[in-house]
Structure 1
Amino acid sequence: MKRVLVIEDNRDNLRLIGYALRRSGYGVESAETGEEGVRKARECLPSFIIVDINLPDIDGFEVTRRIRDTEATARIPIVAITSHAMVGDRERIITAGCNGYFEKPIDPLTIVEKILDALGANHEDTDR
């Protein structure tokens, strides 16, 4: 079973994303802070990571930088989620090292499809 790490401080969003991923056959690890997310990424080496940009300690940009700075986790695909989509955010998120991003609110019926689209159809580690 493919494992996914979801780093999200909003428990409702975490529950919805986790439910949708499990329904699609993924195992889900979760973290509610950036520091916890970086630690869990290094421990469980997930197939991909979903990271909220606005976290209570370090933001999603710093989480992504730290994950990219470690050899063992540097190639793990990361998709950012944000509720503050403004002009230039997409470029900042991609430049920070994310493979894609999408905006909140989250639709549990389409979220997995959006995540896989953000990662690209050719990414073999995301196969269900």
Structure 2
Amino acid sequence: TESEPMTKTVLLVEDDLGNVRVFSRYLSKLGGLAVTHTEDADEVVEIVKAGQADLVLMDVSLSHSLYQGRAVDGIRLTQLLKSDPSTASVPIILVTAHAMIGDRENSLQQSGADGYISKPVVDYRAFIDQVMALLQKSEE
């Protein structure tokens, strides 16, 4: 017998708790997704390696995050996850406040991220659609 599809889990890597609250609310309400949150880079890697996240929402400018004792931003952390075969297949969406044209392409290419959204998010429906589309794609 087919069991119910498991609820997908989004890992929110964000150091602004206001954003964490807003993102969590929309992800759970509009997307029906479970949300976990950490800004601890070592923890991010552990969670993704353990298969406990189906998608990562990665803030680009993590001001307090350390990985193995060294300062790391969201782009570097995305590169780490994407360069490790055990975590490379987990979709990552970069979240950035600096939405300059050109910046976007650079960040995406440098990091290997699967998608990109700018803060403040204006259209939450489109944001959730992007998340759901990547979750679906990663299942195929």
Alignment TM class, shorter chain as reference: 0.7 to 0.9
Q: Mark the CA change 1:3 to 1:25 in structure 2 (over 3 Å): closer, same or farther.
A: same
Offset of 1:8 from its aligned partner? Answer: 0.4
- Farther off after superposition, 4-13 or 85-94: 85-94
Q: What is the alpha-carbon root mean square deviation over aligned residues? A: 2.4
Amino acid at match of 1:20: Y
Report the counterpart of residue 98 of structure 2 in structure 1.
Answer: 84
Q: Mark the CA change 1:18 to 1:98 in structure 2 (over 3 Å): closer, same or farther.
A: same
State yes or no: 1:55 paired with 2:62: yes
For structure 1, list consecutive stretches of 5 or more residues without a partner in the other structure.
none
- Percent identical residues: 30
User: Partner of 1:51: helix, strand, or coil?
Assistant: strand
2:93 and 2:116 in contact (8 A); partners too: yes
Q: Mark the CA change 1:43 to 1:120 in structure 2 (over 3 Å): closer, same or farther.
A: closer
Higher relative CO (CA 8 A, sep ≥ 6), structure 1 or 2? 1
For residues 62-96 of structure 1, what are the alpha-carbon distances to aligned partners after superposition, in whole Å with 9 as ceiling and x for unaligned?
A: 11011112222101111111111223211122211
Q: Mark the CA change 1:125 to 1:22 in structure 2 (over 3 Å): closer, same or farther.
A: farther
For residues 12-43 of structure 1, what are the alpha-carbon distances to aligned partners after superposition, in whole Å with 9 as ceiling and x for unaligned?
A: 00111111111121111111243432232223
For residues 87-115 of structure 1, what are the alpha-carbon distances to aligned partners after superposition, in whole Å with 9 as ceiling and x for unaligned?
A: 321112221111111111134xx435324
Report the counterpart of residue 114 of structure 1 in structure 2.
Answer: 127
Q: Distance in 1 between matches of 2:77 and 2:44?
A: 7
Amino acid at match of 1:65: Q
Q: Which has the larger radius of gyration?
A: 2
Amino acid at match of 1:99: D
**Matched positions, count:** 124
